[in-house]
Amino acid sequence: MNVFRLTGDLSHLAAIIILLLKIWKSRSCAGISGKSQILFAIVFTTRYLDLLTSFISLYNTCMKVIYIGCAYATVYLIYAKFRATYDGNHDSFRVEFLVVPVGGLSVLINHDFSPLEILWTFSIYLESVAILPQLFMISKTGEAETITTHYLFCLGLYRALYLFNWIWRFYFEGFFDMIAIVAGVVQTVLYCDFFYLYVTKGWFSRPYRL
């Protein structure tokens, strides 16, 4: 464990909690892409199946359980409890254009042609594009609530910190996973436009406008 991975995980956890609390407290999921949240639930489910097969550490197991729990709780709040506030018209990204190519790629390019490894690879590739429906929705509505921008900032920051974690691990441990690294770079690049606006526009005060 190194400082980049720890802060990355905490940033990811913060993002997940921020979103869940925002929906729960405001009793509304306006401006939130339910499709992205479904994709994240799929990402965690397909990546953390090893919860059933291997124990790495208490930290590892706890975080995985929390991620999966919060992901499904968020999907439940969006599509069941606060369904009336779900903005389906603006959440119109065709996720099949993501899932199908990602599924195909994970069968073609992976480290090992075993079910668990292919599912892990699928989850890595899917996570790199899972935020697109949310970014697409914001570009359609032209704005986002301030709390949603903080959620996106933490979410984007987590994988950027993981990039530093992989540099650290390559240098100190000789560990690197090309699939995770390439997908992580793609994932972080997708946030660049948003990061630029988040930092320059300083719109902590007013809604995020494209």
Provide the binding-site residues for other proteins, judged by CB under 8 A: 5, 9, 12, 50, 54, 56-57, 60, 63-64, 67, 111-112, 120, 162, 165, 170, 173-178, 180
Shortest Cβ distance from residue 44 to other proteins (Å)?
9
Instruction: For residue 139, give the amino acid letter.
Output: S
> Please, which residue, 60 or 85, has the CB nearer to other proteins?
60
Residue burial 69-96, b: 16+ Cβ < 10 Å; e: rest: ebbbbbbebbeeebeebbbeebbebebe
> Please, which residue, 9 or 91, has the CB nearer to other proteins?
9
**Residues 22, 156: Cα–Cα separation, whole Å:** 18
Shortest Cβ distance from residue 102 to other proteins (Å)?
19
Residue partners of 194: CB distance under 8 A and separation at least 6: 135, 149, 152, 153, 156
Shortest Cβ distance from residue 128 to other proteins (Å)?
15
> Please, which residue, 175 or 196, has the CB nearer to other proteins?
175
